[in-house]
A and B are shown apart, each in its own frame.
Chain A
Amino acid sequence: MSATPVLALRGVSKRFGAVQALTEVELEVHAGEVVALVGDNGAGKSTLVKTIAGVHPIDEGAIEWDGKTVSISKPNDAQNLGIATVYQDLALCDNIDVVGNLYLGREIRKRGVLDEVEMERRSRELLDTLSIRIPSVRIPIASLSGGQRQVVAIARSMLGEPKLVILDEPTAALGVEQTAQVLDLVERLRERGHAVILISHNMADVKAVADKVAVLRLGRNNGTFEVKTTSQEEIISAITGATENAVTRRAARTTGEIKK
């Protein structure tokens, strides 16, 4: 793993009027690493993601990209850096086929005319490299299942070759097999060297694919855990605030040593 994280948040704070949404939050994501961002409702997960995606500029602290401090004040800034965000509502057009959705807003043109052949070829290539199975790239999104739509939305975010992909609850409202498909895809993103931030409420998903778990509680860091050496209960108690931050970390360390 590279020494410099792709993205690092240093003491990021964000305030909405009287509400302190984020207080001095720290977060590091390395290339080829899946960081799960967990926390209860209102813990600040979405706000944190939106500050990274440029929807809400930060008030205090710094965002470092490849070790350099950058300012992300609008969504375009984030996109230009190489940050792709897949929001919960997938923002796909039901009536347009898979190829059209993948290239929506960045169509490949040849002499001013849509180059459907080239777009279809590249779409197939992209879906193949991500091992995404869908019936056909020429059927409307409406024909796809929820899981298939999710993988199409994620594939769409991959078109710009982003360094960091943020997935906002990609497995919420998905069935068992569809969830597995999405998790497979997350693993493939990691294998290809992308950094991934995964927001999830589902501990099983987190345990399945994440390398690290960053817990937010009431807008503050409440511990960062190595998934392999941490039990589900420890993460949950960090989310709910049942344990002290330092104690959890210590417990995580000792159980890790015992297992070895």
Chain B
Amino acid sequence: MSIDKTSTPAENSADQVAVENPDAAAAAVTAVDPRLLVREQGLAGYIGEFKRKMKAGDLGSLPVVVGLLIIWAIFASLNSNFLTAGNFSDMSVAMVGTGMIAVGIVFVLLLGEIDLSVGSVSGVAGAAFAVLSVTHGMNEWLAMLLAVLTGTVAGAIHGFFFARIGVPAFAVTLAGLLFWNGFMLQVLGANGTINIDPEGVVAKLTGYFFADVAAAYGLAVVAVVGYFLNAYFDNRRRAAVGIPSRPLSEIIVRTVLLAVVAFAVAIVFNQYKGLPLAVLIFVVVLLVTDFVLRRTAYGRKVFALGGSVEASRRAGINVTAVRISVFAISGTFAAIGGLFITSKIASANQGAGAGDLLMNAIAAAVIGGTSLFGGRGRTWNALLGVLVIISIQYGLALQGVASPVQYMITGGVLLVTVVIDAITRKTQKTAGRA
């Protein structure tokens, strides 16, 4: 940081502005800008930075994590069955369908846009898979691939009308919501419900568990060690070229936190049927999408578009192409989510993709901390958000609360999240960080 270089420019500035305003110029000769964020080295600096961020309203994932713990505490006190390994395992598998759709929604929200068609597109994917594999006897892998591609194409069509023709994303995807829902009903035909092969690949998506305890523990070990090595070597490189790096103590604190969570989850899974395949796939998807968004030039473009379209265009970013691709990604994940939902209920039916699926997916992304205004968010937000939603659903179902009340409570939680988001944004503005 170049704080020590302040004296010369400050003196120069005094000379130049003296012409118009001598008083202000004298005041301008300050030694060090008090707003400079000088961060102490070591653990003290890390804690100081954390406190400063909290005060500035830069809460990150903290509200949703705290909220999730409160929700779990409430339901656990109401019903002893809530915090059991079995319930936890069921919730983890059930959340993946909505969670996958929410991952796609995060991409669209990063642009500051919305995709209302994801529910219907997920239904189309399930129906397409069932019709191709069951009615026409196609190979399940091929049928899966085609079903996912259907989603990609649907999303790309929305993207084309939005990015090329200039129709608002809201209107295009609303049209898509109706169209794809009709398309699904057409594909399913008069019969209405098609049961999928209970031993097939898609059924295994949510039905398979790695019974060997080594799977869950192994995954936890790989995650912890991988995180630590990645952070450690990244830091070594930063230190080698002389730019600020995290203190080793901070990396260790983070790694220990991750280890506690990872092994707790692994123990819970192993007490029941073992690591669910669906959860493994979901975690891999989150890792890959997070990597794409934060470590590749493509991800940088998505964030840039969410920040300023004009700036992106001037930086030479192909705005149309990125927009179409993001909607295609959203459609793809909607289709993948649709397959997981089909897998969970073991059939494709006329009600697929309807009801609260769309709203839950969007709510999951937003509750997890993705900004509705574009440019802020991570795909991990989808995991946190969908955990909140599924916990409320399962908790209330265990209490025997009917779905009307479930809707109202989920709506209330969404409102609280958005209120927290709005308040922290205000605090961030006053603290100059938004």
What residues of chain A have their CB less than 8 Å away from a CB belonging to chain B? 89-96, 100, 104-107, 109, 112-114, 116-118, 120-121, 124, 127-128, 131-133, 135-136, 138-140, 142-143, 176-177, 179-181, 183-184, 187, 204, 207-209
Contacts and interface: CB of A to CB of B under 8 A. Distances in A.
Nearest to B432: A143
A95 B35 contact: no
Given A133-B5, A184-B12, A124 B243 contact: yes
B311 A93 contact: yes
B314 A91 contact: yes
B434 A117 contact: no
A183 B17 CA distance: 10
B40 interface: no
B304 A104 contact: yes
B28 A91 contact: no
Given A100-B300, A105-B315, A179-B17, A136 B1 contact: yes
Given A96-B304, A117-B234, A117-B237, A127 B433 contact: no
A19 to B, nearest CB: 26
B296 A143 contact: no
A24 to B, nearest CB: 30
B315 A95 contact: no
A93 B304 contact: yes
Interface of B: 1-3, 5-6, 8-9, 12-14, 16-17, 19-21, 24-25, 28, 33, 35-37, 234, 237-238, 241-244, 295-297, 300, 303-304, 306-308, 310-312, 314-317, 374-376, 432-434
B17 A180 contact: yes
Contacts of B308: 91-94
Nearest to B5: A131
Contact of A177 (B13, B35, B310, B375): B13
Contact of B19 (A93, A142, A204): A204
Interface centre among B12, B16, B37, B304, by most chain A C-beta atoms within 10 angstroms, is: B16
Contacts of A117: 234, 237-238, 241, 243
A136 B37 contact: yes
A92 B2 contact: no
B314 to A, nearest CB: 5
B17 A133 contact: no
A183 B296 contact: no
A121 B5 CA distance: 18
B311 A92 contact: yes
Contact of A139 (B20, B37, B243): B37
Contact of A120 (B13, B35, B243, B433): B243
Given A93-B304, A105-B315, A180 B295 contact: no
